[in-house]
Amino acid sequence: MSTENLQRQEAIEKLKSLVDKIDIGMLCTFNPESDYPHAIPMSRQEVDENGDIWFLFSSESDTHQNLQRNHKVSLLYSDVSNYSFLSINGTGNISQDSTRIDKYWNKIVAAWFEQGREDPRIRVLKVTPEEGHYWDNKTNKLVTFLKVATSALSGKQMDIGREGELDL
């Protein structure tokens, strides 16, 4: 696996392409009363031009309670069918931005909020990435598997993908 560290716009583009492709990631928040992170699956609403990742969620959730005490978050994305993975650490900022709620409102979000767009529990979460790391193959899963098998049998290292830091 080759290393390809990306900076600024290239890093944002890589982050955006992976998050958009994978969509659902595990959002980890931190409760000071636990030694372990609290992780839940979340579907992103948008990755903006700055690399910020936006979500809608409920003020009644454990995630909301955790973010009230600690703004640090981790996001973990995994697409095992394509051997693409992304780890992001950053800061979460909560708002009730009605413009964003309107922008992101859809039938799937509506299933979580019985009172509709006016539900007082709806919160907007903006995750601002501070650091990231990705692992991505350069080909499809079958070719990657064949390269791994060839490397194992021949002892010769084959370039099966790339990984690197995202300097956001």
Which among 141, 127, 161 has a CA at the least distance from the CA of 16?
Answer: 127
pLDDT in tens, 103-127: 999 999 999 999 999 999 999 999 9
Instruction: Judge contact between 77 and 85, C-beta under 8 A.
Output: yes
Query: Burial letters for 20-53: b for 16+ Cβ neighbours within 10 Å, e otherwise?
Result: eebeebebbbbeeeeeebeeeebebbbbeeebbb
Tokens 């299933």 -> residue: 111
Q: Per the structure block, which two tokens stand in for 46?
A: 């948008």
pLDDT at 68: 96
Question: Contact 27/62 with Cβ under 8 angstroms?
Answer: no
Tokens representing residue 132 in the block: 């990231």
CA atoms in the 13 A half-sphere facing the CB of 92: 26
Which carries the bigger pLDDT value, residue 39 or residue 168?
39
Q: Using an 8 Å Cβ cutoff, are 35 and 8 in contact?
A: no
pLDDT of residue 152: 55
What residue type is assigned to position 152 of the chain?
A: A
- Rounded CA gap, 79 and 86, in Å? 9
Q: What is the pLDDT of residue 123?
A: 98
Q: How far apart are CA 44 and CA 37, in angstroms?
A: 19
Q: Report pLDDT digits (tens) over 8-26.
A: 999 999 999 999 999 999 9
**Domains defined for the chain, CATH in brackets:** 2-167 (2.30.110.10)
pLDDT of residue 160: 56
Q: How far is CA 41 from the centre of its chain?
A: 10
Instruction: Provide the whole-model pTM.
Output: 0.85
